[in-house]
Amino acid sequence: MGRMTFVFRRLALLVPTAVGVTIITFFMVHLIPGDPAVTVLGQHATPATVALLHHQWGLDKPLAEQYWLFMDRLVHGNLGESLYYQVPVWGLITGRLPATLWLLCYAAVIAIVISVPLAVLAASRKDAIRDHVVRVVPLLGLGMPAFWFGLILQTWLGTKLRLFPVTGYGQGFVGHVHTMFLPSLTVAVALCPVLIRSLRASMLNVLGADFITTARAKGVPAPRLLVRHVLRNAVIPAVTVLGINIGYLIGGTLIVEQVFAVPGIGSLMIGAILQRDFPVVQGVALVFGVLVVLVNLLTDVAYAALDPRVRFGR
Amino acid sequence: MSTDLVSVVPVEGRTRLRRARWYRHPTLVVGLVLLVAIVFMCVAAPLLTSFDPDKQNLEQALSGAGQYGHLLGTDQEGRDTWARLLYGGRIDLRVAFLAVLFPFVLGTILGSLAGYFGSWIDAIILRVIDVVVAFPFFVLVIALVFVLGAGEKSIYIAITAVGWVSYARIIRGEILVAKRQEYVLAAQSGGLSSLRIMGRHLLPNVITQAIVYAMSDIVQNMVAIVTLSYLGLGIQPPTPDWGTMIADGQNFLTTQWQLTTIPGLTVVLTGLALSLVGDGLADLLRPGAS
């Protein structure tokens, strides 16, 4: 299969997934036990207000028609209106998306900066003490609730040592880099265990290859061998792991944004949950779903483009 | 625990060999010791503290460690932190373990069906997996618990609805390979029913991968439960729980740091224990795989 055919096939596979994502977000509101209108209105629920909300949301129409309307609005960039802010959800999300994307990219960079040296250290001598240490210590990160670690960083590096601002997004590039460091570090620490593990495994894999033996026989010094020959080849699988784990990464940003008051779509979603703002929750979930699908697609395509050895087809 | 898991390894001789050697995996031993200690302390909570975790005593609110006989001090309502830690662990650990069981069973069944029968069953299940995987775990779990209403039951439903896909993927992949092996062909030519082949012949051979994954899944679930409780969507007060304890303590971080730090460290330590057990099991059950 040719390269373009692969990309097109991959794009075609996207369609059922994207439709599925919309179906799940659509039915989310229908999963609510009882009547969502009553839940939202709370004490203000009278038959008249409930009927009005039903009509506004189109809940008085058949389910298939409702889904059709939902999709129709969606392709026109209309995600409905926020019950709390009384403005279109789409505008809320686009206004807050940059902060979330900043956090995601920054966290990915920090995770790579932490993980690569540690993985090199571990793989350079398998089963040595340093290998065991690098394998075990990041396990601490797996069971660490991101919000808790964020609170600890806030208290020590923010409030006590005053090295970093405690909350917010910052002004300009330098401001973003400074202000977003703690939240990004929090997200990155959760990602490091997975990344270190896969990098180490793929480096060990590469170390067993014939061309490494050849390079060794030629007398290539160890540091150069690790960086130029091993790391280069091991990075591609690690990038894929990063792509696959984008969902995990995004899940981390959700709560971290809340703790550090980063004005992104994660904190928007948490806020909407606390205010019982259904359309916003639905909209953000949809945007997150689409984001993950797109990143996975990009990872696949980038992988295929970067590594000429990748064979296309299943 | 370990002997049960080891006994599913097919080759009899190897089983005996490995059973004799499980204690030679330091990660497994350290993990098990830690885990057993934590579980024991939670189970034996009434023996380890005489305080009632829910009893308020405003006169002793926010007392430091050791004051009035409170080992780790008290929270803003004068409740004993040590007692809440132990009793909270009972809830969090129970929910985390149970929340792994349901997706494990559901995912294993669906994954076996997809892998064994292939064709349209496989196609449908794969598409559904693609869609569920598209949502970040936390986003979907939090959104589901939100629409279902806070509480323990919603946590089980939400985690099952999202978590089964990992098991289905693992089992499907394993069965795709295993079903081509001679012992399955022999069973098929022997005229055994598909159900019997899957249940008696295939599953015992492919389940180990899923069990290893389940260990890391418990960690993920525990973090999810604690996070949900922190947001007020999980275990409902006044029932003690590590997430609520962290949330309650965050207002006193600069003065009473232990209120937030200790429950958090407990979660990290429990997660470490489970991860070590998972790693050790992986080494034990799949030698050479690491």
- Interface pTM, i.e. ipTM: 0.81
Q: From the candidates A134, A148, A204, A246, which should be mutated to test the interface with B, based on the most B CB atoms within 10 A?
A: A148
Q: Does A16 touch chain B (CB under 8 A)?
A: yes
pLDDT at B287: 56
Q: Determine contact, residues B176/B209, Cβ cutoff 8 Å.
A: no
Which chain A residues are Cβ-neighbours of B147 within 8 angstroms?
Answer: 28-29, 31-32
pLDDT in tens, B132-169: 888 888 888 888 888 888 888 889 999 999 999 999 99
Contact A17 B134 (CB under 8 A): yes
What percentage of chain B exceeds 90 in pLDDT?
20
Contact A143 B143 (CB under 8 A): no
Q: Determine contact, residues A238/A198, Cβ cutoff 8 Å.
A: yes
- Among A154, A249, A273, the residue with its CB nearest the CB of B142 is A273
Give the separation between CA A183 and CA A173, rounded to whole angstroms.
Answer: 16
Phi and psi, residue A124, nearest 5° = -65, -30
pLDDT at A71: 86
Which chain A residues are Cβ-neighbours of B253 within 8 angstroms?
Answer: 151, 154-155, 159
The pTM (predicted TM-score) of the whole model is 0.83
Which of the given ranges, A43-52, A227-236, B211-220, has the highest pLDDT on average?
B211-220
* Dihedral sign for Cα atoms in the order A253, A257, A262, A265: positive
Q: Does B127 touch chain A (CB under 8 A)?
A: yes
Query: What tokens does B169 get?
Result: 């993927």
Lowest-confidence region among A28-42, A94-108, A218-232, B79-93: A28-42
Preceding peptide of B240 cis, ω within 30° = no
Label residue B251 by pLDDT band (50, 70, 90): confident
Would you tell me which residues 217-256 of chain A have a C-beta closer than 8 angstroms to some C-beta of chain B? Answer: 246-252, 254-255
Helix axes A278-306, B119-134, angle to 10 degrees: 110
- A53 has pLDDT over 90: no
Eight-state DSSP code of residue A165: -
Give the separation between CA B286 and CA B290, rounded to whole angstroms.
Answer: 8
Total CB pairs under 8 A between chain A and B: 158
- Helix residue spans in chain B (DSSP H): 2-6, 12-21, 26-43, 45-48, 81-117, 119-134, 137-148, 152-178, 182-189, 194-196, 203-230, 242-249, 258-285
pLDDT in tens, B189-199: 888 888 888 88
Q: Please name the amino acid found at residue B100.
A: V
Contact A32 B257 (CB under 8 A): no
